[in-house]
Amino acid sequence: MPNPLSHLFCVAPMIDWTDKHCRYFHRLLSQHALLYTEMITTGAILFGDRERFLSVNPVEHPIALQLGGADPKALAECASIGESYGYDEINMNVGCPSDRVQSGKFGACLMAEPNLVGDCIAAMQAKVKIPVTVKTRIGIDDSAEKDFLWRFIEIVKTAGCQTFIIHARKAWLKGLSPKENREIPPLRYEIAAALKKDFSDLEIILNGGILTLEEGLQHLESFDGIMLGRAAYHNPYLLSEVDAKIFASSTPQKTRQEIIHKLIPYCEQQMQQGTPLHAITRHILGLWHGEPGARKIRQVLSDHKISETEKLSFLLSLN
């Protein structure tokens, strides 16, 4: 199924981070970046608080729902539910190496079962009209990257997937924590580039280790798009340059204070609904990254002795 969404610049799905409050904040910074949910398991959707996991603010679009699971029927049902909630894309996680995810037999360990992944993709595509994509690694454990990855991509492509987000590191399923799996396996951009060359008909998005938009622009010479994760989260103001630098938008870049002024009404609305302010402000602590006074701002927003009303006033007072 062709993908009408632009993947030129994406913000990665990050567990415990890219929740709906984070996405609202990120959308204030960039109108065009494609945002992703945290990975949400099929069990959480089918048996949990569906509204809490899936509710979408209209301003979040374009937005993709990332699913974690390995049962084609369950994934298809969840994809259909996600489409009914208004998501623009369904993404299947075939890259997370955590022990908890492995115990559920999904995530990166599914790279060893490309036929099952293909069945999952086909089942989801049969149930939805929106694009279904895959986020994966370049290999697992001692696999020979090229042979292993090329076979995986060929099988999943044959099942109908046209867009692959490639985290250009292997995943080690034993012996490394998720954090170590983001840092210790070496980045192999050349493997991802060779994949794009050999599968030129596919949309290949590069993920892993990209720290700046300047680096990203260089990668766009070889790939169809880039995905930033922790760099965008810890230094979110870089997102304010995405529309102009990546999408050639003429819309003026917002100042940090303009962003905060737009965020305050959202904070007030959420607080009236019982959301603690910290659930929102925890995502903005990096907005002043590298700026004078950044440490004081983080301290004030993180101080539980300061009331929520005082914190809102403090934010409004910043110049």
Taking 70 as the threshold, does the pLDDT of residue 319 lie above it? Answer: no
The set of catalytic residues is: 96
Q: Among positive and negative, which fits the CA dihedral 253, 256, 257, 259?
A: positive
- Domains (range + CATH), the chain: 9-245 (3.20.20.70), 256-317 (1.20.120.1460)
Residues 45, 137, 120, 200, Cα dihedral to 10°:
130
Taking 90 as the threshold, does the pLDDT of residue 174 lie above it? Answer: no
Tens of pLDDT, residues 246-290: 999 999 999 999 999 999 999 999 999 999 999 999 999 999 999
Tens of pLDDT, residues 179-220: 888 888 899 999 999 999 999 999 999 999 999 999 999 999
pLDDT given for residue 104 in this prediction: 72
Report CA-CA distances (Å) from 76 to 35, 52, 86.
21, 20, 16
Mean of the pLDDT values across residues 299-308? 95
**Nearest-angstrom CA–CA distance, 234 and 239:** 11
